[in-house]
Structure 1
């Protein structure tokens, strides 16, 4: 199947894709996690906690989201 045909089938929600894609062999690379320790100044922790509370999420979620956004920007 040509790329254009695949893209069109995907956009249309066609089940033809199931004949082409080996879903059981697919994986998302580099999603393993590794624990790291980072020392932040108290003012930064307080700011992170305030933003996390405002959004109703954890401090870790804020840090992960902001880090991912920044890394995404630097790759462009």
Structure 2
């Protein structure tokens, strides 16, 4: 678990291609969250990107990790 590989994925944010690199377990959890919400990874990434704009924002990879952690803390 501590040696989880970094996975780079292409995503589309507001019509623009971008890439995000995070550990595979985070991608797996992020995809599961998107599936559970009935949305696509691209739409969920766009939502996170919109939310982090302005102020003291974290980079997109960190935003995804934090979102996954917050989602896992929520009761099912």
Q: Which structure's residues are more often strand, by fraction? A: 2
Tell me the TM-score range normalised by the shorter chain: 0.3 to 0.5
Q: Which structure's residues are more often helix, by fraction? A: 1
Q: TM-score, normalised by structure 1?
A: 0.46
Q: TM-score, normalised by structure 2?
A: 0.46
